[in-house]
Amino acid sequence: MIIHETGIEGVSLIEPKVFGDHRGFFVETFQKERYAEVIGSDLEFVQDNHSNSPKGVLRGLHFQTKRPQGKLVRCVQGSVFDVAIDIRQDSPTFGKWFGTELSAENKHQLWVAPGLAHGFLVLSDSADFEYKCTDYYDSSAEGCLIWNDQTVNIEWPRIDAPIQLSEKDLKGKTLEQL
């Protein structure tokens, strides 16, 4: 696999090795010893999540204040624009974001360390998105950075569909409010 650093500590773009022929493809999406180089050896995955969303759905930008989750994410059907934002106040890259397209075609993964905000916008007609998480979901500790915060200024791709947000995500806070 190839690991690309993103300029934000704890955020890495991963290109897994893909083996393909006339029968299809095979890709190893996680192997503890090999992925320890990216996520560290002290973190364990305890929960897997899978979401399906139509074009224009924007999920995020989520984080947990207690029991923060590290996430290894990938898109297994369709494509998304995936974003990680450094919301750690003591970080030299506080307020910076990294975004990339994850798709079934490119098979890339993004590692988002605990303590960062994360979200994605569906670019294709629909997308299936999978997360491996290092801690359990805790609704009492959930936070949301608003997707269009002017301070963070994420450059979301333009799509030919309206942006769709959940009620919870519509109430996200700005970086300053957090």
Name the residues annotated as catalytic: 62, 131
Residue type, 141: A
Cis peptide before 110 (omega within 30 of 0): no
Report the candidate in 19, 29, 26 with the shortest Cα–Cα distance to residue 110. Answer: 29
CA distance 149 to 151: 5
Helices marked H in the chain — which ranges? 32-39, 167-170
